[in-house]
């Protein structure tokens, strides 16, 4: 059994319930190859967004939710649709609008009368009862409506009239947000932002990718994406990710990075002067899961400090906020996070 990142991969024995008879390395290789194939299948329909695709897959492998931030026309909706097909998941989409109500998301009770005149309430499930929910332009709905997703995203169930209703497994939310048009929008509460494992910033494709996109989407008929995996495979990979060993050096790097982003305990003058509030312990948890998922996706058995640095921006950018002094000085959150990562590069 080989080692990676200072971790003995012998610890892989017995990491997946019900699969103890299989060699752990073979299991990791199999799942890593399966989701690498899924990445290739998605990339054949989403052009020039390799980093975005990787980060979304990392979110799913880690069992989390993702917030896609980008201007219109960058294939955010198409990415979610393609991802649902490639992974064989039950996918539903909600277009968030100012008049959207919580019942439009989680469902509501309706009063019914039978042939004997007896009246009873029946719960009609909303679109949140799926495996893969796309919350399109999530910041266009009111805070009251946005809060309808809080319990679903964290506890994977909803409560209606005191009755608990479990959501399907697996359950993931991919939300989109337009960073430019802020009229008629409501900023996401910090509590909800913290429930997104990663904030994935979607940028413009390069010239070559945009040219391939033009030819592929406007000439002839497009071939639909093909199914590569299924929900059971995803859940098996999620169980594996939670059991991958992480070296002490990597754990300490996570703790140092996260804690140095908090103004009250950071040694960085930039953080103390420019950061209003820093990342919570949930950021450390996000790192521990996401770096394992990234390692598995890239065919490695254990994460390294390089994985921590690579995921610092998508994990921290929505868990930190700059104060007025930073805005007055023209400082950006990306610059602050780059500074936090500098000791590990």
CB atoms within 10 A of CB 278: 22
Q: How confident is the model at residue 9 (pLDDT cuts 50, 70, 90)?
A: very low
The more confident residue out of 113 and 287 is 287
CA angle 27, 54, 86 (to 5 degrees): 70
* DSSP sequence for 135-162: EETGGGS-HHHHGGGHHHHHHSEEEETT
Q: Write down the pLDDT at residue 20.
A: 46
Q: How confident is the model at residue 4 (pLDDT cuts 50, 70, 90)?
A: very low
pLDDT above 90: percentage of residues in the chain: 37
Among the residue ranges 122-126, 187-191, 235-239, 271-275, the one predicted with the least confidence is 187-191
Among the residue ranges 152-161, 288-297, 331-340, the one predicted with the least confidence is 152-161
Q: Write down the pLDDT at residue 301.
A: 83
Q: Does residue 84 register a pLDDT over 60?
A: yes
Look over the chain and give the mean of its residue pLDDT values, rounded to a whole number.
85
Q: Which two tokens stand for residue 46?
A: 């989403």
Among the residue ranges 129-133, 154-158, 216-220, the one predicted with the least confidence is 216-220
Q: Does residue 155 register a pLDDT over 90?
A: no
- The answer to whether the CB of 52 falls within 8 A of the CB of 79 is yes
Q: Write down the pLDDT at residue 181.
A: 67
pLDDT above 70: percentage of residues in the chain: 91
Determine if the pTM surpasses 0.85.
yes
Cis peptide before 54 (omega within 30 of 0): no
Question: Is the C-alpha dihedral spanning 221, 136, 171, 242 positive or negative?
Answer: positive
Per-residue pLDDT reduced to its tens digit, 16-38: 444 443 466 788 888 888 998 99
Q: What does the buried/exposed string (b/e) look like for 111-148 if buried means 16 or more CB atoms within 10 Å of the residue's CB? A: eeeeeeeeeeeeeeebebbbbbbbbbbbbbbeeebbeb
Q: Write down the pLDDT at residue 234.
A: 93
Q: What are phi and psi of 228, to 5 degrees?
A: -115, -35
What is the rounded average pLDDT of the residues 217-240? 86
Q: Does residue 67 register a pLDDT over 70?
A: yes
Q: Does residue 13 register a pLDDT over 50?
A: no
Per-residue pLDDT reduced to its tens digit, 183-222: 668 888 787 888 899 999 998 988 998 888 888 888 777 7
What domains can you pick out in the chain, each with its CATH number?
1-16+243-345 (1.10.8.80), 24-228 (3.40.50.300)
């Amino acid at each position: 059994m080989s080692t990676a990142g200072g971790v003995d991969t012998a610890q892989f024995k017995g990491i997946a319930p019900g699969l103890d008879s299989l060699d752990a390395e073979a299991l990791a290789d199999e799942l890593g190859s399966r989701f690498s194939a899924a990445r290739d299948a998605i990339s054949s329909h989403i052009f020039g967004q390799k980093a975005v695709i990787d980060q979304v897959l990392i979110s799913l492998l880690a069992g989390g939710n993702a917030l896609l931030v980008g201007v219109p026309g960058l294939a955010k909706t198409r990415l979610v649709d393609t991802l649902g097909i490639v992974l064989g998941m039950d996918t539903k989409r909600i277009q968030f609008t100012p008049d959207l109500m919580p019942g439009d998301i989680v469902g509501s009770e309706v009063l019914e009368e039978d042939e004997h005149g007896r009246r009873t309430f029946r719960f009609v499930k909303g679109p949140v009862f799926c495996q893969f929910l796309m919350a399109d332009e999530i910041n266009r709905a009111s805070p009251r409506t946005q809060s309808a997703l809080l319990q679903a995203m964290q506890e994977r169930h909803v409560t209606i009239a005191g009755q608990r209703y479990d959501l399907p497994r697996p359950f993931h939310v991919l939300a989109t947000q337009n960073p430019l048009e802020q009229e008629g929008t409501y900023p996401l509460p910090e509590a909800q932002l913290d429930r997104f494992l990663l904030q994935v910033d979607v940028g413009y494709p390069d010239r070559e990718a945009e040219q391939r996109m033009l030819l592929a989407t406007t000439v002839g008929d497009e071939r639909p994406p093909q199914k590569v995996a299924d929900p059971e495979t995803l859940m098996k990979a999620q169980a594996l990710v939670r059991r991958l060993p992480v070296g002490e050096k990597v754990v300490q790097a996570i703790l140092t990075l996260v804690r140095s982003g908090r103004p009250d305990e950071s040694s960085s003058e930039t953080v103390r002067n420019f950061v209003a509030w820093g990342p919570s312990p949930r950021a450390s948890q996000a790192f521990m899961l996401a770096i394992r998922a990234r390692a598995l996706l890239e065919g490695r058995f254990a994460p390294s400090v390089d994985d921590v640095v690579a995921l610092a921006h998508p994990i921290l950018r929505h868990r930190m906020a700059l104060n007025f002094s930073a805005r007055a000085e023209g400082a950006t959150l990306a610059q602050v996070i780059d500074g936090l990562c500098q000791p590990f590069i």
